[in-house]
Amino acid sequence: MHLPPPLTRDLVLIGGGHTHALVLHKWAMQPLAGARVTLINPDPTAPYTGMLPGHIAGHYSREALEIDLIRLARRAGARIILGRAEGLDPVARQVHVPGRPPISYDVASVDIGITSDLPALPGYRDHAVSAKPLGAYAARWQEWLARMQAGQTAAQIAIIGGGVAGVELALAMAHRLHGHAPEITLVDAGPLLPNIGAQARKRLILHLKRAQVTVIENARPAAVTENGLELADARLIRASFVLGAAGSRPQDWLRGTGLDLTEGFVTVDPFLRSVSALEVFAVGDCAHMAHAPRPKAGVFAVRQAPILFQNLRAALGAGEMRAYHPQRDYLKLVSLGDRTALADKWSLPLEGAWLWRLKDRIDEKFMSQFRDARPMPPALPREHASGLAEMLGDKPLCGGCGAKMGAQALAAALPKVTRDDIEGGIGDDAAILRMGETRQVIATDHLRALVEDPWLMARIAATHALGDIWAMGARPQAALASVTLPRMSPELQARTLREVMAGADSVLGPAGAALVGGHSAMGAEMQLGFTLTGLLGGRALTKAGAQVGDALILTKPLGTGVIMAGEMRWAAPGGVVAGALSAMVQDQAQAAMILRDAHAMTDVTGFGLAGHLAEMLTPDRLSAQIDLAALPLLDGAEGLAAEGIESSLAPANRAALLGVLDAPKSARAALLVDPQTAGGLLVAVSGAQAEALLNELQDAGYRAAIIGKVTADTGPKIIAT
């Protein structure tokens, strides 16, 4: 058996800026054996700054300028941590992300960009938005645009900052608002466009006049209010949208790192290393190149990427370092709102539609690096046993519950057990053990990792395992962990186990379960599981007990199986994947308490909604009707199902329901057999109580829904319409 090489070094990339995106792209093509790569970023996607003016003007969709970091990380074999770094300790070699334990590194790189906010300006945080980081600006712009077009707000805009960025965005907004008689005012504390050639400046000022953008120079903002922008000379510029584009400012948390800084930016040497901590690199706008100071511009970030890629590998033990020498001047392409652009280099301005087309080609070439073809199916050996091709198929093996065996295989393997100290039937969510007057529930679950982040995977696995305890109406008591990690050095083992245990305890502790021990091993890949006990203080809730006329309530939306299957095939957008991961770690403790008087309850996991519903119907030979339109679904799940994507367990789930499930052939119906990881509770409750219980669940923050009802005492049969 050939296992992957052991992991020996941790490389942590802080921020999903353009340089890091390009490094990951190159890493996917040329990985370094033994290096574990981690990307930390607040969002699953990173917007490309070069296309922002075109997006604001309406030429590009939001999706067109998004670099999908989750897909990129999968291509590169990296783990991604969705969180905002707020600290770096170069002595302990740790990165701090709120809400989780420190992330250790051997080599780190910082590419977090800059901000154009004005925290000292009264009212700014409440009533304005910054052009950088640009993700929030793009989202706020679309929201404001919708309100303006609906007549809910006036087309009045104030822009703070008269540099190239402010001018470019003013022209973009003016173009987008053509026909709405916008009032756009550009304000600068000094002269307009101080860092561009004189001829280009004259032309851009002429374009502002043509677009009817009012320019106010040498005027200092005093405050931002709900009415607009107040200037120091008491003038009020009425605006319902105030944009900050005044220069650039480093992110505040860098000041607490102890790294050498220049005006708040990380000071780096020619090899892009911090001059005070050689294992820390910094690139893009957050870095100051002491050997060759340059203005903040995306062209330098892009051209730093191949140098950073080589130097990171050298710092990890492979190859020699190379110095970065930036060019003295560069081509500035300024969008003019419509599909034209102005170019400035060596004070020789040019403009026209052909320059827009040139810029568009440059941007398209950049973004095309991050658009991936579908993966090829696994190659078969020339000689192979019969049945191998059918087993491999054209889909990778899913993680989470999608990697489990089908219900028929499990049912056939279970022995017949009858014991006085075991209550209830074999095959329920958990076993109930009698010890005198005490009744203890015991359950176990084990998952193949579906994300590379050990802390997050531990939270998902713990939430998933607790589902059986909550579904039985028990109070969680104790937990044992079962951990398999890929081969790695002792130092990385210790780091990873700390993350696993911290993630597990962050879920188990608040649920009332003490993490008391467990077992660890090394293998081909990460697998996590938990054995849990819980105490029963009253009636045990089981799969049996539903009654004709009962309403069926589901407490979580469906779709984790198809979304994670899509993610493995690079077909699920990063935002969709992030939504699924967030749903998986939502606990069901409060839902179980609200539903404690249900007639029957189970949690929806590997066998899918229909499979687990069939288990509820079988003991009493009942039938049920499902309203497909009422099913709560995760964003993106139905679209992926419509593309023919499904989990590797879905066919077995479908086969197990032959003669039981009667459903149309549609994408929504396909989600009835979608295996769920850390899925919701499925309960049968009195029809008279259903609406009140649903309201209580929704008030508690659950995306719960009444999805159908128990219809007859002849079955089991499920009809979905």
> The domain spanning residue 446 has which CATH number?
3.30.1330.10
Instruction: Evaluate whether 620 touches 545 at the Cβ level (below 8 Å).
Output: yes
Distance CA 346, CA 197 (A): 8
Report the distance separating Cα 721 and Cα 712, nearest Å: 16
Q: What confidence score (pLDDT) does residue 392 get?
A: 59
Q: What is the pLDDT of residue 608?
A: 96
Maximum mean pLDDT: which of 112-116, 300-304, 596-600: 596-600
Beta strands 213-216 and 79-82, pairing class:
unpaired
- Give the distance from CA 632 to its chain's centroid: 20
| Whether residue 453 is found in the same domain as residue 535 | yes
Secondary structure (3-state) at 533: strand
- Pick from 38-52, 360-374, 652-666: least confident: 360-374
State the residue range of the domain holding 239.
115-247+331-368
CB 335 within 8 A of CB 167: no
> Mean pLDDT throughout 151-178?
94
Residues 341, 285, single domain; the answer is no
Give the chain's domain count: 4
CA distance 35 to 149: 51
The amino acid occupying position 720 is: A
Residue 295's domain is classified under what CATH number? 3.50.50.60
Task: Please give the model's pTM, rounded to 2 decimal places.
Answer: 0.89
Please tell me the least confidently modeled range out of 347-351, 440-444, 462-466. 347-351
Q: Looking at the structure, do residues 175 and 87 belong to the same domain, yes or no? A: no
Residue 189 is assigned to a structural domain of this protein:
yes
pLDDT the model gives residue 14: 98
Burial status of residue 143 (CB atoms within 10 A of its CB: 0-12, 13-18, 19 or more): exposed
Give me the catalytic one of 57, 308, 334, 401: 401
Q: What percentage of the chain has pLDDT greater than the value 90?
A: 72
- Domain-embedded: residue 401: no
Model confidence at 416: pLDDT above 50: yes
Over residues 560-569, mean pLDDT: 93
Convert the pLDDT of each residue in 519-533 to its tens digit: 999 888 899 999 999
Residue 424 has pLDDT above 70, yes or no: no
Residue 393 resides in a domain: no
Contact status, residue 24 vs residue 79, Cβ threshold 8 Å:
no
> 3-class DSSP state for residue 230?
strand
92 DSSP assignment: T
Average pLDDT of the residues in 554-567: 96
Q: From 271, 305, 327, give the residue that closes a domain.
A: 327
Q: What is the mean pLDDT of the chain?
A: 90
Q: Is residue 305 part of a domain?
A: yes
Same domain membership, residue 217 and residue 197: yes
**Is residue 346 scored above 80 in pLDDT?**
no
In the predicted model, what is the mean pLDDT of residues 687-705?
Answer: 97
Residue 484's pLDDT band, with cuts at 50, 70 and 90, is very high
Contact of 462 with 503, CB cutoff 8 Å = yes
Per-residue confidence (pLDDT) for residue 418, from 0 to 100:
63
Q: Is residue 599, in this structure, part of any structural domain at all?
A: yes
286 catalytic per annotation: no
453 shares a domain with 345: no
- Is the confidence at residue 586, as pLDDT, over 70? yes
Question: Is the confidence at residue 615, as pLDDT, over 80?
Answer: yes
Alpha-carbon distances of 385 from 381, 382, 389, 462, rounded to whole Å: 10, 10, 9, 38
557 with 678, same domain: the answer is yes
pLDDT at 376 over 60: no
Cα Rg of the chain (Å, integer): 29
State pLDDT tens for residues 15-47: 999 999 999 999 999 999 999 999 999 999 998
Q: How many CA atoms lie within 13 A of 251 on its CB side?
A: 21
Same domain, 229 and 264: no
User: How does pLDDT run across 626-656, given as a tens digit for each residue?
Assistant: 999 999 999 999 999 999 999 989 999 999 9
Residue 376 lies in a domain: no
Which residue type does 504 have? Answer: A
Residue 436 and residue 516 in one domain: yes
- For the cut 60, the answer to whether the pLDDT of residue 465 exceeds it is yes
Q: What's the pLDDT tens digit per position in 397-412? A: 666 554 555 555 555 5
At 638 the three-state DSSP class reads helix
Mean pLDDT, residues 147-155 taken together:
94
Shared domain check, 308 and 237:
no
260: how many CB neighbours lie within 10 A of its CB? 14
The Cα-based distances of 508 to 515, 532, 585, 688 in angstroms read 7, 10, 12, 34
pLDDT value for 432: 85
Nearest to 562 by CA among 702, 718, 452, 401: 401
User: Which amino acid would we find at residue 375?
Assistant: P
Would you say residue 334 has pLDDT above 60? Answer: yes
pLDDT band (50, 70, 90) for residue 299: confident
Residue 299 lies in a domain: yes
C-alpha distance across the termini of the chain, in Å: 48
The SS3 call for residue 720 is strand
Same domain, 520 and 652: no
Is-contact 259 173, C-beta < 8 A? no
Query: What average pLDDT does this structure show over 139-156?
Result: 93
Q: Phi-psi region for residue 272, left (φ > 0), alpha (ψ -120 to 50) or beta?
A: left
CATH number at residue 572: 3.90.650.10
Residues 220 and 341 in one domain: yes
Alpha carbon 695 to chain centroid, angstroms = 29
The answer to whether 560 and 604 have CB atoms below 8 angstroms apart is: no
Among 368, 390, 417, the domain boundary falls at 368
Check whether residue 107 and residue 202 sit in a common domain. Answer: no
> Could you report the per-residue pLDDT of 102-115, keeping only the tens digit for each?
999 999 999 998 88
Q: Residue 661's CB: how many other CB atoms inside 10 A?
A: 23
pLDDT at 1: 47
In a domain, 408, yes or no: no
SS3 97: coil
Residue range 187-205: average pLDDT? 89
Residue 425 has pLDDT above 70, yes or no: no
Q: Which of 327, 351, 381 marks a domain boundary? A: 327
